[in-house]
Structure 1
């Protein structure tokens, strides 16, 4: 089944809420549940009834509204098996590499640990959409709270392997700060420069910087290109392993 509609909106201070709707099966999925009121407002505006919540990871700003929405709609909460004990209201668990159906929607779960140890990203092939939670951001990546740099670098390589025409959705509006940091790592990248200009225009006009085409991210986001010798050299790490280059980039972003 096709016929997808995806609506993105702001929750909390800088979280994104996202609803995925497929009319043919009357399925409506909330990607994470950062805050109840904005999700209810988005559902009401669209005239949709929530059927599922798809959780990327256990952090409070991604699961806070799980139980309230479940009580209101009877929605099914689905999340990572590795974090089942930390996700409120969870009904069903999935693991990386698993392909499953939600109503008429096909979902592929991708292991993306690093930010947390059990985080999953979700790829909807029929909708050409990737929901990367806090693993991958536009022009950046997640902070290493529970995992380490080699772990997250391996995770990002899995996401990088998805088709270029995939639209990337992330958990937060961090792109402007990521952009400024990315330019210090890869200042001569023309595609990055163009993306930075786009981001600046979007933010000045009060618009979201996401979603973005994954093919653009593959060329502009230095965190997806830690295995490029030119980036290693720019960081003074010529000949270093990609995971070491990635760790240096993440450390720079932490301090930015």
Structure 2
């Protein structure tokens, strides 16, 4: 089976994704400013069969009904947060699996940024849509759930195969990288990645998607189990979770 993944810049710093197979297309989240998404679909001659919602924030759902009405797309989301989402055609629980054009898709409940945040993992395509949970060189804020929930969610995503493509929801890479250097200033992979990201942004291109392998080598939230990181934070004997909480606490005030 073949597929095409399209990254679309929307809103101020949002990214949305189209996953297209031979005859079907899905959109992950829909911001209020849907014109770039419409243009991408029209240019390629694609329809829109489904919309997968990751969480309830306005910049991820306010365009859902517009896209549904225009294309007749079926909408999927998390059952536990259905009361805060646009009307769902299909409500999912954690661990649910469904078929999309021959691809098996697993719904992963990954709270932290919001209580009802989910990710969509498509193993046959080696891609996971993580929105505001696991991000390029970072993780999302935790206004609803908490740092402990975010730790478990990020750790769960970090256990996927290293070749998995990480499709996150915002262009935060350079800001996250600047902070990451305060944790591991001598990490050569991190230094190289930030230099590359600067060049990418200078040309107006997105720094996402990324790969889990690259995140494991550079993202401080996925490196909290390393003794070198614990020593640098003066937390040599602390648990991985405690180190994660401290790293995110520092980022909140950075």
TM-score normalised to the size of structure 2? 0.96
1:174-198 CA-to-partner distances (Å, cap 9, x unmatched) read: 0010000000011111111111111
Superposition pairs for residues 71-86 of structure 1, below 5 Å? 71-86=69-84
User: How many residues were matched structurally?
Assistant: 253
**C-alpha separation between the residues in 2 aligned to 1:124 and 1:79?**
15
Q: 1:8 maps to what in 2?
A: 7
Matches within 5 A, 1:7-156: 7-23=6-22, 26-34=23-31, 35-156=33-154
CA separation in 2, counterparts of 1:217 and 1:130? 13
Q: Please tell me whether the aligned partners of residues 32 and 53 of structure 1 are also in contact (alpha carbons under 8 angstroms).
A: yes
2:163 maps to 165
Show CA shifts across 1:53-102 (max 9, x none). 00111111000111111111111110111111111132111122122112
Query: For the residues of structure 2 that align with 1:247 and 1:111, how far apart are their CA atoms?
Result: 20
What CA distance in whole angstroms lies between the structure 2 residues aligned with 1:225 and 1:117?
24
Q: Distance between the aligned counterparts of 1:207 and 1:36, measured in 2? A: 19
CA distance in 2, matches of 1:64, 1:152: 24
Query: Any idea what SS the aligned residue of 1:143 has?
Result: coil
What secondary structure, in the 3-state scheme, does the structure 1 residue paired with 2:192 have? helix
Verify the 8 A CA contact 1:27 1:104 in the aligned structure 2.
Answer: no
1:150 & 1:93 partners in 2: Cα distance? 26
Structure 2 distance, partners of 1:193, 1:102, is: 38
- TM-score with structure 1 setting the length: 0.96
Give the superposed CA RMSD: 1.1
Q: Distance in 2 between matches of 1:242 and 1:249?
A: 11
The 10-residue stretch of structure 1 (96-105 or 126-135) with the greater mean CA deviation from structure 2:
96-105
Gaps of 5+ in 1: none
Quote the Cα distance in structure 1 between the aligned partners of 2:138 and 2:88. Answer: 29
- CA deviations on 1:7-43 (whole Å, 9 max, x unpaired) are 11100000001100001xx211001111321111111
Quote the Cα distance in structure 2 between the aligned partners of 1:241 and 1:146: 23
CA distance in 2, matches of 1:187, 1:97: 38
